[in-house]
Amino acid sequence: MSLHPNEVLLAPVVSEKSYEQIESDHRYSFRVHPDAHKTQIRQAVEELFNVHVERVNVIQVRSKPKRRGLVKGRKPGWKKAIVQIKAGESIEIFEGAQV
């Protein structure tokens, strides 16, 4: 399946753990398209942010059961990619927020 780079990366993951990884290891977390694979993720990050990617790890986040009163349901699962870039480079969309 051929995906445009804007379709591969859906959103950055904003959490304390993701910002800690940025500061210590230059690893950025993204929510990605469910059908995207590591090569597509690498190419999308390099094309959209003009950085050099060293490593890509992909994680399937499981769905969770949720409940509100008597109503039961599930939060949908999603796919997350953790991208490590070369030291000295950064991605600007993560620089503005402070956690």
Sketch out the chain's domains with CATH numbers.
Answer: 5-87 (3.30.70.330)
The pLDDT value recorded for residue 97 is 53
Best CA proximity match to 24, nearest among 91, 80, 84, 81: 84
In which order are the strands placed within the sheet that holds 9-12? 9-12, 27-32, 78-85, 53-61
Q: What is the DSSP letter of 94?
A: G
- Alpha helices, DSSP H only, in 4-77? 5-8, 16-25, 38-49
Residue-level length of the chain = 99
Best CA proximity match to 37, nearest among 85, 68, 79, 99: 79
pLDDT tens digits in sequence order for the chain, 99 residues long: 688 888 999 999 989 999 899 889 899 999 999 999 999 999 999 999 999 999 999 999 999 999 999 999 999 999 999 999 998 888 887 766 555
